[in-house]
Amino acid sequence: MKLHEFQAKDLLAKSGIPTPQGQLVKDSDQASKVAQTIPGPPWVVKAQVHTGGRGKAGGIKVVHDPDEMIAATKTMLKKSLVTKQTGPEGVMVRQVLIETGVDIEREFYLSMVVDRATAMPTMIFSQAGGMEIEEVADQTPELILKEHIDPTTGWMPYQARNLIYHIDPIPSPAAVKLLTSIMAEIYKIFMTLDCSLLEINPLVATREGNILALDAKIQIDDNALFRQKDLHELDDPEEKDPLELMAEKYQLSYIRLNGNIGAMVNGAGLAMATMDLIKMAGAEPANFLDVGGGASEEMITKGFEIILKDKRVEAILINIFGGILRCDVLARGVLAAAKNTDIKVPLIVRLEGTNVDEGRRILKNSDLKFLVAKNLTDAADLVTKQVKDEGK
């Protein structure tokens, strides 16, 4: 689960990590009031969306008087923001964060993730803050420092020293003290809230000698949400694709993509492989949909309905290798969904595995029009043919 910047900063502030004073605004009329309550000028207006690359896309603006603040708020709110991470349609900006401007002396990068290779929570620090960490990793990898954290000891003070005394030049003793305590705090937050990512970029030293989290990104491990009930209210369904939201409700794993061939598959690996197969056949996958190893008839029905709701879909490929999920259950689910909808696009079905004969028989004896693929290669060929026919 992704959090908004303002939510992440609230969590940091609660743990005593300083953040700039700010106010969330959902309507540009509120902006004039903010000019009176938040110290400035300057102020910074920041679009609150679940995507990166906001700065370069016009989603972050420094403003110097109230009129400019209102204008910037108006330009962002209720408009689509296209960043290099969003795709061409962009994301709708529903709220902006207006913060007091900060006089920056130095910018650092500080984050935590779980490192897969060592299976340890890891703190990452760089004195090259303010730019994307991938860029730093690419250009000056020696400026990225990592401390793996042993689960039996937790974060140790010497690890903070390892990171901080590498900064060139070494910050003032007061700043060292502040950085040390911020590192200890973000470790605590990361572990207590089951974060999968906690990133402060930049973490800045101001000319007044403060250390502030100027931007913050937090993601919570979806698998741990059952024990993070307090965080549920921070979920923002409006940031999600409506079809993805619908899938979430039925506990289906669905991701909307930009192509024209819908796919319904059981198992995440096979679903990805099927997307790849569609691409190789000369088409583009419209979605990732894993109905799961043990999907029920109802889940199949819902999954199929979601694909049918996607207007860009020109053909549908159902690829099921029955293990726990039996092919007859799949067939009944597809028929139940087909009953409620007029299917206008060609349907290609490839069934294999448990109860395959029964599944094929059920489909064959129905009114449903579909093409049978004998195997994966055949399925790809049928998709190719479909794409070509469409192009005629």
Asked if 139 interacts with other proteins (CB under 8 A), we say no
Q: How far apart are CA 164 and CA 183, in angstroms?
A: 10
CA-wise closest residue to 43 among 97, 92, 121: 97
Shortest distance (Å) from residue 29 CB to other proteins: 34
- According to CB under 8 A, which one of 13, 24, 71, 114 is a site residue for other proteins? 114
In the complex, minimum distance from the CB of residue 147 to other proteins, in angstroms, rounded to a whole number: 15
- What's the Cα-to-Cα distance from 168 to each of 110, 127, 128, 162, 172, rounded to whole Å? 16, 8, 11, 13, 11
Task: Please pick, from the candidates 330, 379, 383, 387, the single residue that binds other proteins as defined by CB under 8 A.
Answer: 379
**Which one, 92 or 225, has the nearer CB to other proteins?**
225
Should residue 270 be labelled a site residue for other proteins when binding is judged by CB under 8 A?
yes
Helices and strands counted in the chain (H then E): 12, 18
Among 88, 141, 269, 391, binds other proteins (CB under 8 A): 269
**Segment contacting other proteins (CB under 8 A): 17-25, 209-217, 284-292, 358-366?**
284-292
Q: Does position 286 bind other proteins by CB under 8 A? A: no
Query: Could you say which residues in the range 20-59 bind other proteins, by CB under 8 A?
Result: none
Give the total residue count for the chain: 392
Phi, psi of 130 (to 5 degrees): 90, -15
Q: Is 82 in the site for other proteins (CB under 8 A)?
A: no
With 0-12 / 13-18 / 19 or more C-beta atoms within 10 angstroms meaning exposed / middle / buried, residue 349 is buried
Judged by CB under 8 A, the residue of 62, 268, 298, 341 near other proteins is: 268
Determine the interface stretch with other proteins among 9-17, 60-68, 99-107, 279-287 (rule: CB under 8 A): 279-287
List the x/- string, 199-238, binding to other proteins by CB under 8 A. ----------------------xxxx-xx-----------
Listing from the earlier edge strand, what are the strands of the sheet with 60-63? 22-25, 96-100, 43-47, 60-63
Amino acid of residue 327? C
User: Which of 99, 147, 199, 314 is flagged as catalytic?
Assistant: 199
Complex with other proteins: residue 269 or 391, whichever CB lies closer: 269
> d(Cα 318, Cα 326) in Å, to the nearest integer?
14
Nearest to 362 by CA among 382, 385, 336, 341: 336
Which range touches other proteins (CB under 8 A), out of 101-109, 207-215, 253-261, 384-392? 253-261
- Which residue type occupies 167? I
CB 99 within 8 A of CB 20: yes
Query: Does the footprint of other proteins cover residue 280 (CB under 8 A)?
Result: yes
Active-site residue (options: 5, 99, 109, 314): 109
Total binding residues toward other proteins, as defined by CB under 8 A: 59
If DSSP states are collapsed to H, E and C, what string results for 270-337?
HHHHHHHHHHHCCCCECEEEECCCCCCHHHHHHHHHHHHHCCCCCEEEEEEEECCCCHHHHHHHHHHH
Q: What is the dihedral of CA 350, 353, 356, 359, to 10 degrees?
A: -70
251 sits near other proteins (criterion: CB under 8 A): no
State the minimum distance, in angstroms, from the CB of residue 387 to other proteins. 15
Q: What's the DSSP call for residue 223? A: G
Q: Is 99 among the residues that bind other proteins (CB under 8 A)?
A: no
Region from 13-21, 88-96, 175-183, 371-379 binding other proteins, contact rule CB under 8 A: 371-379
Does 343 help bind other proteins (rule: CB under 8 A)?
no
* Contact yes or no for 97/5 (Cβ under 8 A): yes
245 binds other proteins (CB under 8 A): no
Q: Is 109 a catalytic residue?
A: yes
Contact criterion met (CB below 8 Å) for 254 and 306: yes
150 touching other proteins, by CB under 8 A: yes
77 or 380: whose CB is closer to other proteins?
380
Q: Which of the residues are catalytic?
A: 109, 199
The site for other proteins (CB under 8 A) is made up of 85, 114, 116-117, 119-121, 133-134, 137, 150-152, 191, 194, 196, 221-224, 226-227, 253, 255, 257, 265-273, 275-280, 284-285, 288, 290, 293-294, 321-324, 352-354, 375-380
